[in-house]
């Protein structure tokens, strides 16, 4: 299995669950991987391999996947766990900051999903995990830059999942709500918050079941966001992030 964004809290929680007896690939930006490697080894990984990965370098994504598969073998489960929350206030004023957030959270994800889907399709096997968010389901004024990236990613992944239907490749679109962890440090938890461990447990169950595309975490958010579509705009624009 491979985690792209190898220091991600959610990605690592997933890696440790899928590690026993497996080769684990952690693809991450330069920086210390000691903790992440130790966690995977303690979880029973057969081996842990580290690769340098800058998601924003889209032209390098195909070569990276080739290098991983040459060294470690075909990727059975690929988790795209990279992403940034960004600074909404800055992104509202600074077009370069807004575009950088959209690039990492949407464009780079779409690029890597395309590369991985192609490789897995030729083998008629594999599981892809994309991290959307409820933030993209009905975009809120308070975080519309991040939310719109997730909306774009969610739409892309939905179409790709349909394109992969019957190919033997399973794409899971995870839609967590607020996850209490490093990415949201300092923010007040929203209703139906979860933890990286709860998100990973839900995703692993879905990986093992081999069926079903959309995964709301927790499931109650599906109902909440079905209703959210009907909330009048005058009210919706006052929703907190």
19 contacts 44 by C-beta, under 8 angstroms: yes
Nearest to 28 by CA among 49, 59, 13, 1: 49
Q: 56-95 mask for ligand NAP (x: CB under 6 A)? A: x------------------------xxxx-----------
Residues 108-167 close enough to bind ligand NAP by CB under 6 A:
131, 133
> Cα dist. 165→41, 84, 122, 211, 227 in Å?
34, 29, 14, 11, 28
Binding residue count for ligand NAP, defined by CB under 6 A:
27
Q: Is 40 in the site for ligand NAP (CB under 6 A)?
A: no
Under rule CB under 6 A, residue 5 binds ligand NAP: yes
Q: How far apart are CA 45 and CA 38, in angstroms?
A: 10
Nearer to ligand NAP, 15 or 164 (CB): 15
55 binds ligand NAP (CB under 6 A): yes
Distance of alpha carbon 158 from the chain centroid: 14
Binding site for ligand NAP (CB under 6 A): 5, 7-11, 28-29, 31, 53-56, 81-84, 104, 131, 133, 176, 178-179, 181-184
């Amino acid at each position: 299995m491979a985690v792209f964004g190898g220091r991600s809290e959610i990605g690592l929680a997933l890696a440790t669950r899928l590690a026993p007896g497996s080769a684990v690939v952690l693809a991450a930006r330069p920086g210390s991987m000691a903790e992440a490697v130790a966690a995977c080894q303690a979880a029973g990984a057969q081996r842990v391999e580290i690769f340098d990965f800058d998601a924003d370098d889209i032209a390098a994504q195909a070569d990276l996947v080739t290098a991983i598969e040459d060294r470690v073998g075909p990727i059975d489960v690929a988790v795209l766990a990279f992403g940034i929350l960004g600074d909404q206030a800055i992104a509202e004023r600074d077009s370069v900051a807004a575009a950088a957030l959209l690039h990492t959270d949407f464009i780079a994800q779409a690029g890597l999903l395309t590369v991985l889907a192609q490789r897995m399709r030729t083998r008629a096997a594999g599981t892809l995990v994309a991290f959307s968010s409820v933030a993209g389901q009905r975009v809120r004024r308070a975080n519309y830059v991040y939310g719109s990236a997730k909306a774009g990613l969610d739409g892309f992944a939905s179409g790709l999942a349909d394109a992969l239907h019957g190919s033997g490749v399973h794409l899971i679109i995870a839609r967590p709500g607020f996850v209490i962890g490093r990415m949201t440090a300092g923010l007040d938890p929203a209703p139906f918050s979860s933890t990286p461990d709860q998100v990973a447990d839900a995703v692993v169950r879905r990986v093992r079941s081999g069926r079903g595309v959309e995964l709301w975490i927790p499931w109650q958010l599906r109902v909440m966001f079905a209703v959210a579509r009907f909330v009048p705009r005058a009210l919706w624009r006052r929703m907190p992030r």
